Amino acid sequence: MSVARTILIADGSPRTVPELQAALRDLDCAVLAVSDATFVLTMAMRHKPALVILGAHLPAGGALTALRRLRASVHTASIPVIALAAPGAAKQALLSAGAQECLEPPVVEGDIMDAVRGQLRSPRAVTEAPAASLRDPDRLSALAATGLLDSDPDATFDLVTRLAAQVLRVPVALVSLVDERRQFFKSQVGLPAPWDEKRQTPLSHSFCQWVVSSEEELVVADARTHPVLRGNGAVADLGVVAYAGIPLTAPSGQPIGSFCAIDGRPRQWTHDELALLRDFAQLIDAQAALHQSVAPGLTPEASERHFRSVARAAGSGFLGAARLLRRGRTPLNDEQREDLAGIIERNSHRLVELTAEALAVTA
């Protein structure tokens, strides 16, 4: 007996699902309904539907908002989407955001069912995260302001990356910064040649781009079985099989990259391992924030806002370091504790320097 494919219908109208249910059942499809754009991504990730239909009357942001969320996540990026445009709605915006078809009113059941049949026959091929997410001007500006792109290796970044690889017992750990066309490795441990010298890859070889586009953690036990990631060049050329990536953010809150651990064989990442990775990511966020000087020419108010965001990132980094020092299940050895204490000390000195700079501007 075949298992029915699931169709997720998201629409605020109470008539949409009953009107389509019988026809979809004839196609051996089960119907899952949601009436709010907020929950579309959650339901799609949980139930892995064969197709999503986004209605014209979807509350909490509408079809365009729900569609962008679906496309930003590597777990739902390959699911075909049919959008039903409201009268006067921008059809091109929905198509540009990743809808396979956009039906304009008046729409009848036959139009929808023809679109459903066509999309069920044509799986969606995806290789890269949505360009709109990666090319966002505010995000790119925040990334450039860190001064980390194309910068030389830094001993403190390298120390954090090396510690993470040792504690998590992974062959590869990366501080990956993602712009609109590539990922640049501010720090790396264990990359094979020639990538270790190039310190970057195109997006065709990047898992980290999906961490940036979704602004969420990405945890994969075996990328070779993932519908999107199995075709990523990092699997064949870099030997990436298991991956766990935590978002890195600029002081402004914009996503700029990923701190990730990589294994060359399948791996079920544990809760404790992911907690450790988050602590190390907070250290990297703090280091990146403290790397920035107070920009010249800022108004006192802008300077104060910048300093507050840097201080907030530094504080989170100190908390992450404290958790690493106090963890009992994965104790650091004496050398690792000394290394971590050195990072805390250097970052504390840098925070004192930035405090003095900010006070000089606001005086």
Contact between 44 and 76 under an 8 Å Cβ cutoff? The reply is yes
Nearest Cα residue to 345 out of 319, 312, 318: 318
Average pLDDT, the chain: 90
Q: What one-character DSSP code corresponds to residue 249?
A: E
Any idea which residue has 């490795």 for tokens? 185
Q: What is the pLDDT of residue 127?
A: 85
pTM of this prediction? 0.91
Kindly report, residue by residue over 86-105, the tens digit of the pLDDT.
Answer: 776 678 889 999 999 999 88
Residue 159 has pLDDT above 50, yes or no: yes
Q: What one-character DSSP code corresponds to residue 79?
A: S
* Parallel/antiparallel/unpaired status of strands 182-189 and 172-178: antiparallel
Query: What does the alpha-carbon distance between residue 177 and residue 186 come to, in Å, rounded to a whole number?
Result: 7
Q: How confident is the model at residue 199 (pLDDT cuts 50, 70, 90)?
A: very high
State the Rg of the chain over Cα: 23
Query: Which amino acid is located at 128 in the chain?
Result: E
Q: What is the pLDDT of residue 1?
A: 40
Nearest Cα residue to 126 out of 38, 16, 213: 213
Q: What is the pLDDT of residue 258?
A: 98
SS3 content of the chain, % helix, strand, coil (to 5): 50, 15, 35
Contact between 12 and 55 under an 8 Å Cβ cutoff? The reply is yes
Query: What does the alpha-carbon distance between residue 303 and residue 293 come to, in Å, rounded to a whole number?
Result: 10
Kindly report, residue by residue over 7-53, the tens digit of the pLDDT.
Answer: 999 987 777 788 888 889 888 888 999 988 889 999 999 999 999 99
* CA 297-147-201 angle, 5° bins: 155
Query: What does the alpha-carbon distance between residue 191 and residue 90 come to, in Å, rounded to a whole number?
Result: 45
Kindly report, residue by residue over 268-315, the tens digit of the pLDDT.
Answer: 999 999 999 999 999 999 999 998 766 666 677 877 888 888 889 999
Angle between helices 155-168 and 334-362 (to 10 degrees): 140
The domains located in the chain, with CATH, are 5-120 (3.40.50.2300), 131-362 (3.30.450.40)
Buried b (16+ CB within 10 A) or exposed e, 343-352: bbeebeebbe
Q: How buried is 247 (Cβ within 10 angstroms: 0-12 exposed, 13-18 middle, 19+ buried)?
A: buried
- How many residues are recorded in the chain? 363
